[in-house]
Amino acid sequence: MPLLAIVLLIATWASAMPVKNPNHSLIWQISGNGLTKKSYLFGTIHLICRNDFVWNKHMKKSFNASEKICFEMDLDDRQTMIDAAMGFIDTSGKLLSDYFSKEEYKIVKKFIKDSLDIDPVLLLKATPVALENQISMLSVGCANAIAYEDSLLYMAKKRKKEVWGLESAKEQIDVLTGLSNEDAAKEVLEDIKGLAANRAEYSMLVNTYKHQDIETLYTLIVKENAIDIAPLLDNRNAKWISRMDSMMAKNAVFFAVGAGHLWGEKGLITLLTQKGYTVEPVKE
């Protein structure tokens, strides 16, 4: 499965799989460095089958203890969501069909209609990155897939917790539009031909996620590296740290970001530790 698809992805609540390694955790506590209140860092996977949804007592307790909920973007802001949607419209003057040969676009057009159940005309002005995002959702392989962000946003609203974002829709879209549409078009064709294989790979990612093994999850993402991961992960992590600093200064914040952002030498856990914070998995 192409890295782009993984990044665009990565009322039944399933318990997490047994965790043997104490450092295997999706939820991490942030303290020290002058903080008067503890904050939390939670790794999400953007789309998952309902029966695979991981939400244990540690996560629930950390969420309830937080005053603010912070996603990659402010999902509670209507304009942010409009801007995000508009960012997938191709402004280069090209149509989606222009990125493919005539024979290739016949395959793409049929897939859009038959597998995505979308009128191809509606995606004619979409970027190949946008189409790749749509196709990646099929890798989940179930009809009852849910998004962590949607579930956490629902809980935040129910508990009247203010929702923040680490970056604007424009910043996130700029990252995606900075990717090569030509490369994305190639990935679209690969995904159409290899949907079964993509589902198997995504199943492996989900299993790793359920075991809360963020180190292996990060390794799998890097292993699939067909494009430079720095704009998608490393650069954004570095940008987020100063913003997290400001947010945590006076508030207990529950940060919910893609699990791929947590681990690695340039991951959020390492960067926060280097800033002087104590970052440790939440335990009993």
Cβ–Cβ contacts within 10 Å for residue 51, how many?
A: 10
Pairing relationship of beta strands 145-146 and 48-49 according to DSSP bridges: antiparallel
Does the pLDDT at position 89 exceed 70? Answer: yes
Q: Identify whether 204 is part of a domain.
A: yes
Q: Identify whether 19 is part of a domain.
A: no
Output the six-digit token pair for 200. Answer: 């198997």
DSSP three-state, residue 26: coil
Expressed as residue numbers, the domain containing 118 is 3-10+24-281
pLDDT confidence tier of residue 255, bands split at 50, 70 and 90: very high
- Distance, CA of 57 to chain centre: 22
**140, 271, 135: which is closest to 209 by C-alpha?**
140
Q: Identify whether 17 is part of a domain.
A: no
Q: Identify whether 219 is part of a domain.
A: yes
In Å, what is the CA distance from 127 to each residue of 3, 40, 76, 133, 165? 17, 35, 25, 10, 25
**Cα–Cα distance for residue pair 156/163, rounded to 1 Å:** 7
Q: Identify whether 35 is part of a domain.
A: yes
Q: What is the pLDDT of residue 3?
A: 45
Q: Identify whether 98 is part of a domain.
A: yes
For CA atoms 273, 276, 277, 279, give the dihedral sign: positive
Q: What is the pLDDT of residue 220?
A: 84
Task: Quote the percentage of the chain above a pLDDT of 90.
Answer: 54
| Overall number of domains in the chain | 1
Q: Identify whether 18 is part of a domain.
A: no
**Cα–Cα distance for residue pair 245/228, rounded to 1 Å:** 27
What is the value of pTM for the model shown?
A: 0.85
Q: What is the pLDDT of residue 10?
A: 47
Between 195-210 and 181-193, two packed helices, what is the crossing angle to 10 degrees? 100
Q: Identify whether 77 is part of a domain.
A: yes
pLDDT confidence tier of residue 22, bands split at 50, 70 and 90: low
